Structure 1
Amino acid sequence: MEALGIDVLFKGTNALRLLQGLWIAAQISGISVALSIVLGVLLGIFMMWKNPVARVISRLYLEIVRIMPQLALLYIVFFGATRVLGINLSAEFSAIIVFTFWGTGEMGDLVRGALVSTPRHQYESAAALGLTRAQTYVHVIIPQAVRRLVPAAINLVTRMVKTTSLLLMIGIIEMMKVGQQIIEANRMTSPNAVFGIYGTIMLLYFAVCWPISLLANRLSKKWN
């Protein structure tokens, strides 16, 4: 075990600290996912508007989300907003803002894609039955769009969970940060701690994301 650096996990409360770091990452990603789903649905509907201004705004937002690295956004919000705007934001709150901003854009595009992929004759059939536009979306379009949306949305959740590894860069004591602290504290007595600690972190991320990924694949196969 010493050769693999796993012995460090059994020193003091190191294993418990890693789990606490994982819980912090899970809390931030969970709050961000919940907000992203709600705001992403609204954004997806907004992106369907035929208004030119709405299209330009939604397109610009989506391009910013796709092009800007999440780490750069974290720095802009946490360090930039604090100094330029004089706003005192905690690292955790800054992370939720950035992850929600990113997740809303991604979710909005997924919602838009699910709505666009619904066959045109579904709209026409609903209109022939005398349904209003609102009734058409509630009773016909949205139930079909959800089937296309859910697997992709679940995969987005796994991406958001994994991206929490960047939070150490703004000082949040999540799992990666705790791992660094353990390695630094034991670098003389356990030189192989890097392998053991980061290997454990990899397994913990896998344990969280794998069931979510399986759920996405199962739903996709079931509904197809």
Structure 2
Amino acid sequence: MGFEVLFKGSNFIRLFQGLSVALKISMISVVISIALGMVIGILMALDIPYLKSVFRIYLEIVRIMPQMVLLFIVYFGITRMLGISLSAEVSSIIVFSFWGTAEMSDLVRGALKSIPLVQYESSMALGLTTLQTYIYVIIPQIVRRMIPQSINLITRMIKTTSLIMMIGIVEVLKVGQQIIEANRKSSPNAAFGIFMTIMLLYFIACWPISRLSKYLEKKWET
């Protein structure tokens, strides 16, 4: 069934190394997306007319444009147009952060809009400043409300990193294709075993994140 190629040489280790590359890019992008998404989401919730228009255009660009096209634009287009040198990994982090920040900011905006106005008014009545109101009252509530959607976004970002092979990054899917090609004659069924293994590796990477989400939901409900 093609699984035997995993035990030839260092093929299995190479798959793990490829997965580590994908996870590193996705995790850096997630951290950046959460930080920037919180800030932009709060700005979007303020309903400042000109900012609202700019952020709406930003969201529409991200939602309409496929991530693969964005990767090509940044790595092959912008770098040559501006005459700058960006590695494939840096280009990938820029694209995934650009995408993730838009998605996260919209989640933050929606969560903020769901907080009743009385929460803000009560905080002000207690003498809290606007910053203190957000830090101690609003943000803890929106974090709880955002957990399921945020976890879904994180797992989507991990899975979507498979696109980075298109700009030359040797991640797990690229390694898998290299192994299949190298064993095409000796193991014609290698594709099944390799891709099943890659599917399992992605499951192992995403499943604990999903379980953490379930745990936090149950903990905060009690």
- For normalisation by structure 1, the TM-score amounts to 0.95
Paired with 1:14 and 1:138, the residues of 2 have a C-alpha distance of 48
Does the Cα contact within 8 Å between 1:40 and 1:108 map onto a contact in 2? yes
Is 1:52 paired with 2:52? no
Paired with 2:30 and 2:123, the residues of 1 have a C-alpha distance of 32
Matches within 5 A, 1:56-135: 56-135=53-132
Is 1:171 paired with 2:168? yes
**Partner of residue 17 from structure 1, selected from 14, 19, 25:** 14
Paired with 1:67 and 1:42, the residues of 2 have a C-alpha distance of 23
Query: In the alignment, what sits opposite 1:200?
Result: 197
Query: In the alignment, what sits opposite 2:32?
Result: 35
Aligned residues between the structures:
221
How far the C-alpha of 1:206 sits from its partner, in A, is 0.3
Structure 2 gaps of 5+ residues are none
Structure 1 gaps of 5+ residues are none
Does the Cα contact within 8 Å between 1:152 and 1:216 map onto a contact in 2? no
Q: CA RMSD in A?
A: 1.2
Paired with 2:127 and 2:11, the residues of 1 have a C-alpha distance of 64
Q: Any idea what SS the aligned residue of 2:115 has?
A: coil
Cα shift readout 1:96-130 (whole Å, capped 9, x = no counterpart)? 00011001111111111111111222112222223
How far the C-alpha of 1:30 sits from its partner, in A, is 1.1
Paired with 2:82 and 2:196, the residues of 1 have a C-alpha distance of 40
Query: In the alignment, what sits opposite 1:161?
Result: 158
Query: In the alignment, what sits opposite 1:219?
Result: 216
Paired with 1:221 and 1:119, the residues of 2 have a C-alpha distance of 23
- For normalisation by structure 2, the TM-score amounts to 0.96
2:162 maps to amino acid: S
Paired with 2:136 and 2:21, the residues of 1 have a C-alpha distance of 39
How far the C-alpha of 1:159 sits from its partner, in A, is 0.7
Does the Cα contact within 8 Å between 1:175 and 1:201 map onto a contact in 2? yes
Does the Cα contact within 8 Å between 1:151 and 1:219 map onto a contact in 2? no
Q: Any idea what SS the aligned residue of 2:188 has?
A: coil
Cα shift readout 1:126-179 (whole Å, capped 9, x = no counterpart)? 222232222221221111111112332122111110001111111100000000
Matches within 5 A, 1:144-155: 144-155=141-152
